[in-house]
Amino acid sequence: MLLSKKIAFRMASLMLAVFLCLSLFSPVAQARSSDYIFSYAASMNPDGGGKVSVWFDVTGTGKMEEIGSTTITIYENGVLVKTFQYSTTPSMMAYNTAIHVSSVSYYGVAGNSYYAYVYFWAAKQGGGDSRSVKTTTITAT
């Protein structure tokens, strides 16, 4: 019986040590989160007739002075074929809001494969942050 009490005490001590170690890491993860971008996502979709669209959404940590995508690059069969910039595609960026959802389209060739990189941006009060994501690869229909 004495042996099982020792084993139970050691197990409880080990579990407490693991719990304490794990709790030490949570502030580090929180410290790395963005002060500006809460979440972001993008997807590449086949629209038919060779047309593909890139949809994206970005949510700020609150109301942002600027929020959206600065650049979207589209690749066809692994080769860059189109670059969208918010300066020439105003719908990619929104102002004085917390959330922005938008899309861009490209007329490609049915049967070819496409993916995109989307570069996100959110800013307020002189500061800002960016993130990027690569979409999945799709085949145009």
**What's the pLDDT tens digit per position in 80-110?**
999 999 999 999 999 999 999 999 999 999 9
Give the integer Cα–Cα distance in Å for 49 and 30: 45
Domain match, 49 and 15 both: no
Q: What's residue 9's pLDDT?
A: 57
Question: Residue 135 pLDDT > 80, yes or no?
Answer: yes
The structural domain count of the chain equals 2
- Whether 76 and 53 map to the same domain: the answer is yes
Which range marks the domain in which residue 14 is found?
Answer: 1-32
CATH of the domain at 60: 2.60.40
Shared-domain flag, residues 72 and 86: yes
By the 8 A CB rule, do 127 and 36 touch?
Answer: yes
Q: What is the dihedral of CA 28, 30, 34, 36, to 10 degrees?
A: -150
pTM above 0.85, yes or no: no
Q: Are residues 25 and 48 in the same domain?
A: no
Q: Do 4 and 57 sit in the same domain of this protein?
A: no
Residue 7, pLDDT score: 63
Same domain as 108, residue 91: yes
Q: What is the DSSP string of 90-138?
A: GGGEEEEEEEEEEEEEEE--TT-EEEEEEEEEEEETTEEEEEEEEPPPE
Rounded to whole angstroms, the Cα distance separating 115 from 4 reads: 59
Same domain, 83 and 104: yes
pLDDT per residue as tens digits for the range 18-70: 444 444 433 333 333 589 999 999 999 999 999 999 999 999 999 999 999 99
19 and 52 inside one domain: no
